[in-house]
Amino acid sequence: MIKENQQIEREYKSRINRAFDYIESNIDKQFTLEEIASVANFSKFHFHRIFQAIIGETPFQFILRLRLEKAASLIVLNPKETITEIAIKCGFTDTSIFSRNFKSYFNKSASQYRKDKQEKSNLSQLDSKAQQVEDKSFMYFCSSSKTIKWRTNMELNKSVEVKELPKMTVAYIRHIGPYKGDEKLFEKLWNRLFTWAGPRGLVGGPNFKSLIIYHDDPNVTIEDKLRMSVCITVSSDTKVDGEIGKMEIEAAKYVIARFVVTAQDFQQAWSWIYGQWFPTSGYQPDDKPCFEMYPEEPKDGKFTVDICVPVKPL
């Protein structure tokens, strides 16, 4: 009976995850409850209560929060875009509604939010001048790959390049809640994913990749609401069930920065990309999920990781 209840719970979470994926990939559009319920394969008459019971928010509270948090991230990352353009991109059709909701959620206007974050960033850059000189990056043209790459003095970094990544279909297990520095949590999630994938012959091969997708900005979203997915690449026709979900990562241009790090160094690596590489690169982050790819197994407590952030010209 306990096992049966666990299977039912996993099935419900899987359906809610499908709703998450649909909302996130169509955040600029308007939704109906019936539409989202259909994606999750629930009756619209019960979906609202099921979603709220599992997530702690109604579907439209979740959508509003996701839109506001995404707007907050874009306001900081894309200084050349107007707040109105960002509001529309995040699914707000009325800028006055956006402004009212943004101020209610963040306790300040969107323009003040941008100003405060820019001032904080400028102060942070002044405080870390010595580190910036030490970790400076140098652009060069790689004749073998016909791409631009960067040499850096950053001790943890081994390479940086910008290139197109193809569309990938991934199977995933999703976690909602705190995850920073929790090695046991990541180990547990990977074990569950590989326990499912191994017997199905889905592990290994020349194009196999393992990755972690971060759906929310930890500088904006509270820890209890953070969403993270551990993933493996699979063929598009792979069948999934229970807690295992499936989604597509669209083809896009990414900066791919390889690091060799301990579990405690990940934040430093991410901060270097955003705080030091981006300001001198000629690029800005694009509006797509970022992720970590793991090209090899950890050795002696160290991880080789490719941090992948979608980019577009500044």
pLDDT in tens, 255-296: 999 999 988 889 899 989 988 898 888 898 888 889 999 998
Q: Could you give the dihedral angle defined by the CA atoms of residues 189, 179, 74 and 24, in that order, rounded to the nearest 10 degrees?
A: 30
Residues 6+ apart with CB under 8 A from 161: 142, 145, 147, 148, 149, 150, 255, 256
What pLDDT shows up at residue 3? 64
- Residue 33: closest CA among 24, 45, 25, 50: 45
pLDDT of residue 134: 54
What's the chain's average pLDDT?
88
Provide mean pLDDT across the span 239-268: 92
Residue 54 has pLDDT above 50, yes or no: yes
pLDDT at res. 2: 59
pLDDT value at position 256?
A: 95
- Return the H-helix or E-strand segment holding 114: helix 110-127
The residue type of 71 is A
Give the chain's domains with CATH numbers: 2-117 (1.10.10.60), 159-313 (3.20.80.10)
Q: According to the model, what pLDDT value does residue 129 have?
A: 47
Position 125 pLDDT exceeds 60: no
Read off the pTM.
0.85
Residue positions counted in the chain: 314
pLDDT for position 152: 82
Residue 148 has pLDDT above 60, yes or no: yes
Measuring CA to CA, which residue among 70, 115, 81 is closest to residue 314? 81
| Whole-number pLDDT of residue 119 | 81
Supply the pLDDT for residue 8.
78
Residue 196 in this model has a pLDDT that exceeds 70: yes
Within 10 angstroms of residue 116's Cβ, the number of other Cβ atoms is: 13
